[in-house]
Amino acid sequence: MTIAEQEQTYTFKAEIKQLLDILIHSLYKEPEIFVRELISNASDALSRVQFEMLTNHEVVDPDAELGIWLTVQKPEEGEEGDKWLIIKDTGIGMTADDLRQNLGTIAHSGAREFLANLRQNGNKSEIADVIGQFGVGFYSVFMAAEEVRVVSRSAHAAESAAVWISDGSENYRIEPADKSDRGTEIHIKLRSEAAEFADEWKLRQIIKKHSDFVAFPIYIGDQEQRANQQQSIWRTQPSEVTAEASKSFYQQMTLDFEEPLTSIHFSSDAPLNLRALLFIPAKREKTMFARRTEPGVQLYCKNVLIQEYCTDLLPRWLSFVDGVVDSEDLPLNVSRETVQNSRLMRQLGKTIRKRVVREINKLAEDKEKFGAFWAQYGRFFKEGVATDHESREEILPLLRFYSSKSDGQLTTLDEYVSRMPESQTDIYYVVGDDQRSIANSPHLDPFKGRGIEVLYFVDAFDAFMAPALMEYKEKPFRNIDDAALELPETAADSETPAEETPAVPEEQFTSLAERVKEILGERVAEVRPSKLLKDSPVRLVSPENSPNTAASRLQRYIDQDYAVPVKILELNPRHGLIANLANLHTADPASPLVALLVEQLLDSALVQEGLHPNPADMLPRIQALMEQVASR
């Protein structure tokens, strides 16, 4: 005998018991969210049957209106008795097995995370505060219910109806039921504290607040007027949708309680039929109980939900965009596979992408807003440059960097190029850990002298992106740690007076350089004088054909067996420190102090480049040096 044919008692899984216990025994600010959760489930069930009807014409009640009905039952005025709220839909329905599986275990990811969090900090009262805000799915009904009966009949003709009964205690029952029409009815016997949910006016308010944009009509009592929006908001003329309405739609759709950074609503009829209402969320990270947990937009065809998370329309570097895309041109008998590959999808995707990029450019007019945007999503674009070569041209103008001349502000490549002196042909960048330390990079010495701007690559993703940058407006990108770097002559350069410290004599310098190489051995490729350094004693440059510093830094982040790259060490013969070192060396070619100082010079240079595996290793040496200085 199957469970559909007899009564069966089951015990809830331990985690559900725990959840039920909290829902029943704590006090919540907003118990009304259970209505939202049940309507959301009804809407999901309607979407599913609607989608199924596109391909399968054998469903039960094919002509039934797709809708959601709320009715209340209460005793006559002055009489005692129970109050019931009934929420009915004509959705996909559930068999007895479905009931056991879907309502006996936790499906909703929000509820699962909620419990995980509870186990971690065990603070019920704190969690009780947030539960009202977030979706915990079906079980939230027990915030208001003394008893719940879910009567359902699957859309599949061969199945019979069943009812699931629970009072929120340990066990629940499943019995055969008498229901001939398709869909689900949830009968809720209201607890006395929750009697307000038997009030139609109250229900109407809740629907306006939480479920106004549900794509199917919601009816209350015997009223023929639907209680939610008549027309889906994305199919309404953009000019007729207020900012308030689209924000409210966003929040009901995502349960993100922050306002989106921007919303993009547009429609076209030719060459493509397209209605889209898209959003850029304020934060990249979704909150713990966010409703939409995966990337992708909702794809509709004539108001029918085809795909909940469609990632084929927008490239990965725009995957943070959320919202709805609806096109009547999509074939109604679409399967999910054909959606992915069709030419139409590519056309739709291109149109949407163009529009989103335009909107992001528009956002850039407001520097503050764009700063917030870039802090959240800059990395997506950098990843895009690195991985999506076809989109490079489109992404590069969107990139923002700090630079030696941007004064703490973000700058665009266009702005950089417009500031380039005529003799400058390349776009220069320097890689480092953060803005402050990079500003002292020895590589910048010659650029400061010549007044040439250098972009600061200070984000881990900059290093990831650097090799793929290639060029912008025919100007190649150049890492300034490049050994072969030749700098353009500039006006600023010819004006600088030659009042530098006299250089260490050549012979003395050569002897020092040999000693330095001897001390450092294989850790440096070469030791040589620098032509470019001004204020810094040393710098490390990449030998030709070696992976550049950007790539090495990246390795430091991702690679456990990171090996410090072997670089050329350049010494500045005009720097006081190098001059003193040369004198020490001349006085005592075997000086142990010279060895210590040289080791420290290399380590300092590695730190400066963001290449040192563990700077704390330097401390004993620094102490030894301090001891020697102090004893003088």
Q: Which one, 7 or 308, has the nearer CB to ligand ADP?
A: 308
Question: Does residue 102 interact with ligand ADP by CB under 6 A?
Answer: yes
Closest approach of Mg ion to the CB of residue 308, in Å: 12
In the complex, minimum distance from the CB of residue 156 to ligand ADP, in angstroms, rounded to a whole number: 12
> What burial letters (b/e) apply to 154-171, b meaning 16+ CB within 10 Å?
bbeeebbbbbbbbbbeee
Interaction residues for ligand ADP, span 181-210 (CB under 6 A):
184
Q: Is 94 in the site for ligand ADP (CB under 6 A)?
A: yes
| Cβ nearer to ligand ADP, comparing 322 with 609 | 322
Residue 127 exposed, middle or buried by CB count within 10 Å (0-12, 13-18, 19+): middle
Of 101-109, 303-311, 313-321, 403-411, which segment contacts ligand ADP by CB under 6 A? 101-109
Cβ proximity to ligand ADP, 99 vs 540, nearer residue: 99
Beta carbons within 8 Å of 407's beta carbon, 6+ residues apart = none
Task: Report the residue closest to ligand ADP, judged by CB.
Answer: 137
- Which tokens sit at 593? 């102090």
Helix (H, G, I), strand (E, B) or coil at 535: coil
- Which parts of 490-529 interact with ligand ADP (CB under 6 A)? none
Q: Check binding of 137 to Mg ion (CB under 5 A).
A: yes
Applying CB under 5 A, the site for Mg ion has a residue count of 2
The CA-based dihedral angle spanning residues 293, 296, 299, 305, taken in that order and rounded to the nearest 10 degrees: -20
Nearer to Mg ion among residue 137 and residue 378 (C-beta): 137
Binder of ligand ADP out of 108, 153, 275, 585 (CB under 6 A): 108
Choose the binding region for ligand ADP from 40-48, 450-458, 482-490, 587-595 (rule: CB under 6 A). Answer: 40-48
Quick one: which segment of 99-107, 201-209, 358-366, 442-450 binds ligand ADP (CB under 6 A)? 99-107
Distances (CA, A) of 303 to 240, 266, 276, 324, 351: 19, 16, 12, 10, 20
CA distances from 51 to 235, 299, 443, 447 (A): 19, 12, 61, 63
Q: Which of 28-36, 87-95, 363-371, 581-589 is the region at the interface with ligand ADP (rule: CB under 6 A)?
A: 87-95
Cβ-in-10-Å burial (0-12, 13-18, 19+) of 102 comes to middle
Q: Between the CA of residue 602 and those of 413, 530, 624, what are the distances in Å?
A: 33, 15, 16
Backbone angle region of 44, left / alpha / beta, with phi > 0 → left and psi within -120 to 50 → alpha: alpha
Least distance between Mg ion and beta carbon 4 (Å): 24
**Partner from ligand ADP, Mg ion, none contacting 42, C-beta within 5 to 8 A by type:** ligand ADP
Residue 47 interacts with, from ligand ADP, Mg ion, none (CB under 5-8 Å by kind): none
Rule CB under 6 A: choose which of 23, 92, 398, 454 binds ligand ADP: 92
Shortest CB 98 distance to ligand ADP, Å: 7
Q: Computed over its alpha carbons, how large is the radius of gyration of the chain?
A: 34
Query: Is residue 138 near ligand ADP by the rule CB under 6 A?
Result: yes
Here's the x/- map for Mg ion, 173-192, by CB under 5 A: it reads as: --------------------
| Cα 326 to Cα 8: distance, rounded to the nearest angstrom | 44
Query: Minimum Å distance from CB 256 to Mg ion?
Result: 17
> In the bound complex, what is the minimum distance in angstroms from residue 186's beta carbon to ligand ADP?
7
Q: Binding residue for Mg ion (CB under 5 A) from 28, 36, 38, 41? A: 41
**Torsion angle (degrees, nearest 10) of CA 564, 566, 568, 569:** 40
> With 0-12 CB in 10 A as exposed, 13-18 as middle and 19+ as buried, what is 237?
exposed
Q: Which is nearer to Mg ion, 20 or 431 (CB)?
A: 20
> 494 burial class (0-12, 13-18, 19+ CB within 10 angstroms)?
exposed
Instruction: Work out how close the CB of 185 gets to ligand ADP at its nearest, in angstroms, rounded to a whole number.
Output: 9
Of residues 37 and 481, the one with the C-beta less far from ligand ADP: 37
Q: Which two tokens stand for residue 241?
A: 């949708």
229 binds ligand ADP (CB under 6 A): no
Q: Residue 377 Cβ, how far from Mg ion at the closest point, in Å?
A: 29
Work out whether 137 is an interface residue with ligand ADP (CB under 6 A): yes
Options 3, 24, 64, 107; binder of ligand ADP; rule CB under 6 A: 107
Q: Looking at 92-100, 207-215, 225-233, 480-488, which segment touches ligand ADP (CB under 6 A)?
A: 92-100
| Segment lying near ligand ADP (by CB under 6 A), choices 35-43, 75-83, 114-122, 576-584 | 35-43
User: Helix or strand or coil: residue 147?
Assistant: strand
Q: Which residues, 6+ apart, have CB-to-CB distance to 94 below 8 Å?
A: 102, 150, 152, 154, 162, 184
Q: Is 35 in the site for ligand ADP (CB under 6 A)?
A: no
Which residue, 3 or 596, has its beta carbon nearer to ligand ADP?
A: 3
Q: DSSP H helical segments within 470-529, as ranges?
A: 491-495, 506-520
Whichever of 41 and 166 has its CB closer to Mg ion, that residue is: 41
Pick one of 20, 22, 69, 91: the residue that binds ligand ADP (CB under 6 A): 91
Position 49 contacts ligand ADP (CB under 6 A):
no
d(CA 71, CA 87): 7
Closest distance to Mg ion from the beta carbon of 218 (Å): 16
In whole angstroms, give the CA distance from residue 541 to residue 531: 12
- If the CB atoms of residues 108 and 353 are measured against ligand ADP, the closer one turns out to be 108
Q: How far is the CB of 91 from ligand ADP (least distance, A)?
A: 5
Give the bridge partners for 472, in sequence order. 475
- Type of residue found at 361: N
Element (H, E) at 486: none
At residue 421's C-alpha, the angle toward residues 416 and 425, to 5°, is 80
Q: Which of 21, 169, 23, 157 lies closest to 95, judged by CA?
A: 157
Whichever of 88 and 585 has its CB closer to ligand ADP, that residue is 88
3-state helix vs strand vs coil in the chain, percent to 5:
45, 20, 40
Rank residues 45 and 330 by Cβ distance to ligand ADP and give the closer one.
45
- Contacts of 586 by beta carbon, 8 Å cutoff, 6+ apart: 508, 511
* Shortest distance, position 332 Cβ to ligand ADP, whole Å: 23
Please select the residue that binds ligand ADP; options are 69, 70, 89, 301, rule is CB under 6 A.
89
- H runs (alpha helix) in 396-505: 413-419, 435-438, 445-450, 460-469, 491-495
The tokens of 518 are what?
A: 């001897």
> Shortest Cβ distance from residue 315 to ligand ADP (Å)?
28
Q: Please count the residues of this chain forming the interface with ligand ADP, following the rule CB under 6 A.
A: 17
20, 31, 36, 41: which one binds ligand ADP (CB under 6 A): 41
Residues that bind ligand ADP (CB under 6 A): 37, 41-42, 44-45, 89, 91-94, 102-103, 107-108, 137-138, 184
